[in-house]
Chain A
Amino acid sequence: MRSISSVCLLPLFCSLFASCQTGSDILLDSPTEIDSQGRFLVSPRWSPGGERLLLSGRGGVGLYVVQPDTGKIDELDPKNRVATGWDAVGRVTELPLLFDDGLRLLYSNDMIRVSYDEYRGRLIVGERGTSRFLAENTWGARMSPGGKMVAFCTGHLASAELHVLGLDGSVEYSGHGAQPEWLPDGKRLVFTRPQAAYDGGTAHGIAGADLFMLDLTTHQTLRLTATPKITEMQPAISPSGRLAFVDWRSGRLFVAELALPGGGS
């Protein structure tokens, strides 16, 4: 694993948040397992209305829509390999994997444009006619609602480092974690913290994972799950703050309500 200082363009990136405060755990209150009818489901994505989940099958193959409240599962295409998502009005649509300029747009407004170079993993901020690299060799970037911060990962998944930066380059967080998902308030995010599996002393794959929540107001990291037999991965937050995640060991899908201190989601 390379040091953060070699990953980021910011000189103080490494040291500022080498350790963060850890608050009291707020373990999820009995997540509901959705009967997947034997399917191995991954990559949950909430519909804009928060009432449906789009998922893929094992290996990213297949496409399914689950209604968590009713347990209904629609198999859209068991052989799909095309990247898909929801459009603004709740239709399942193919996502462009490649972009004309090689960049994926993460966020834009009248003043600023944040884009992502998937090849080199560069986060690029365009502002007032100029562009600058925010970080490189990143993956899994997620803009906060409101576009003030970006969360992203570096390294291999099993040992990934999670970083949160302000668009001005200010370091909000750096620590072990992956697959960040913002809560609607734009101040908190849920992420998974994988535990690396070891094969002959070399980290190789994932042995387990639990979910955590980072509060950027207090810089506290709160544990959401403590289940050594479930590998909680790919958290997804609905617009109303509902949490979905999958167990990468069994392909089971779970949904939970986030009962958060400080008022809702």
Chain B
Amino acid sequence: MIRAARLCVAMSALMWFMPGRILAVPECGGEQDSCSCGRANYCLCDGTCGNCVWHAWHMACCSWGRALEWCTDAGTWDEYATSNGYPTGDDPHDACVFVCNPSSTCSDYGHVGWVVSAYPDGSFDSTEQYWGGPCGTWEKHRAAGFATGGFIYDPDNPDVDGATFVSETIPDGTHFAPGATFTKRWTMRNSGTSSWTRDGNYLWTWDAEEQFGAAEQTLLPDGVSVAPGETHDWDVPMTAPSASGTYRGYFRMDNFGVGRFGDRVWVEIVVDEQQPDAGVDAGADEGVDAGTDSQTDAGADAEVDAGPTDSAPDASDNAPADENGEETGCRCSTQRSTPAGLLLILLLGILGVGNTRRRKRPESRRVNQTVVE
């Protein structure tokens, strides 16, 4: 295995330093070099069996539209990334390169692969190839900590989305009459590096459990931009369920078409039994103004049409459930062509021609929207 890896490195280095760097390796591990990123994939393949660096280079080409400036042995990729100005870090993101340092685990020359999906426990799904087999392109799942050399991110999309809970109105346990209407406000700080704008598809979304009749998506007003470090108040009109009980619903920031991110917050209320003589005209337009006992600084403007029927317990509990944003979310898919039978190393200075697989946001298909004006 080590001998094979050495050969891989030696040949990759040879190809890199050849005058004009004209070698192209159009196929490896069942994948074709079909993406356009300014040059053909010149990383060596082990016959047509596979090579980790060929695949990682290929995926960066397809997903980022960028021809990486190096194709050295895997264990040096983090260093070359840094020296070439690529952002790097310790956390897996969707659509980035992982690096496993040279070690007894990842051979004397290290290992690289492509991160497809990152998960909350620090693990990630990947696609990978190996020098020396098993041949082909493999879907893997890697545990947190496997990428000892860290991760290399897309330099054209270095922004990271982040949202941190600041304050809220309607604390957990607030009592409402059945069908009462109220407006929950969450104040969120932009803790990422990207600005939130309506045109950028940043919105507030219902995420899970009880929806309280709220809009699934709440948009930013036109022209509003929430810069990193700034806060924004998300006001969401809601209606208490008609049956008594305790209800909770989750809400979160969404970079629509890319992914939800940031602290995942919730509203939790207690709906009391309907009291015929209680004098609360739940849900009616002229609902009793029972007065919120707002516990947060941001609560002054919160609107409660049919108010809490009891004082709220501890204010507190809508603490962030989710501390880091989910990442820039480029999407990629792995080509899976039928493995070719022949090794083709072409001495051609032809640039690859084919599909460019850049991140694309899907067409907006917003539903049931509310615009906070």
Contacts and interface: CB of A to CB of B under 8 A. Distances in A.
A157 B145 contact: no
B250 A99 contact: no
B83 interface: no
A199 B326 CA distance: 15
B104 A99 contact: yes
Contact of A60 (B117, B121, B134, B138): B121
Contacts of A249: 207-208, 250, 264
A56 interface: yes
Contact of A99 (B100, B105, B111): B105
B341 to A, nearest CB: 17
B130 interface: yes
B232 to A, nearest CB: 21
A132 interface: no
Nearest to B208: A229
How extensive is the interface on chain B, given as a class? Answer: 35 or more
Interface string B257-301: 000000010000000000000000000000000000000000000
A81 B145 contact: yes
A2 B139 contact: yes
A56 B141 contact: no
A204 to B, nearest CB: 6
A205 B259 CA distance: 10
Secondary structure at the A interface, as helix, strand, loop or mixed, is loop
Contact of B122 (A60, A102, A204, A205): A60
Contact of A137 (B103, B134, B321): B134
A1, A160, A229 — most chain B CB neighbours (10 Å): A229
Contacts of B136: 2, 6
Given A58-B120, A60-B123, A97 B145 contact: yes
Contacts of A157: 117, 119, 123, 125, 141
Contacts of B331: 199-200, 202, 204
A254 interface: no
Secondary structure at the B interface, as helix, strand, loop or mixed, is loop
A56 to B, nearest CB: 7
Contact of A59 (B91, B106, B125, B207): B91
B120 A248 contact: yes
B116 A204 contact: yes
Interface in B317-345: 317, 319-324, 331, 333
A210 interface: no
Given A204-B117, A251-B321, A137 B140 contact: yes
B142 interface: yes
A148 interface: no
B107 interface: yes
B19 interface: no
Interface stretch (A114-122, A181-189, A212-220): A114-122
B144 interface: yes
B93 to A, nearest CB: 11
Contact of B324 (A38, A58, A178): A58
Contacts of A119: 100, 105-107, 111
A61 interface: yes
A250 B321 contact: yes
Contacts of B130: 120
Interface in A129-181: 136-137, 139-140, 153, 155-158, 160, 178
Given A59-B91, A200-B331, A251-B321, A139 B121 contact: no
Nearest to B258: A199
A102 B143 contact: no
Contacts of B121: 42-43, 56, 59-60, 233-234, 248
B138 A2 contact: yes
A98 B104 CA distance: 7
Given A118-B146, A119-B106, A120-B134, 5 more contacts: A58-B120, A60-B123, A140-B141, A158-B125, A249-B207
24 contacts: A2-B138, A38-B317, A38-B321, A40-B323, A42-B120, A58-B323, A59-B144, A60-B122, A81-B144, A83-B145, A97-B105, A97-B148, A102-B104, A153-B141, A157-B119, A157-B123, A158-B117, A199-B331, A200-B362, A204-B94, A229-B209, A234-B121, A248-B119, A251-B322
Interface of A: 1-2, 6, 37-38, 40, 42-43, 56-61, 81-83, 97-102, 118-121, 136-137, 139-140, 153, 155-158, 160, 178, 199-200, 202, 204-206, 229, 233-234, 248-252
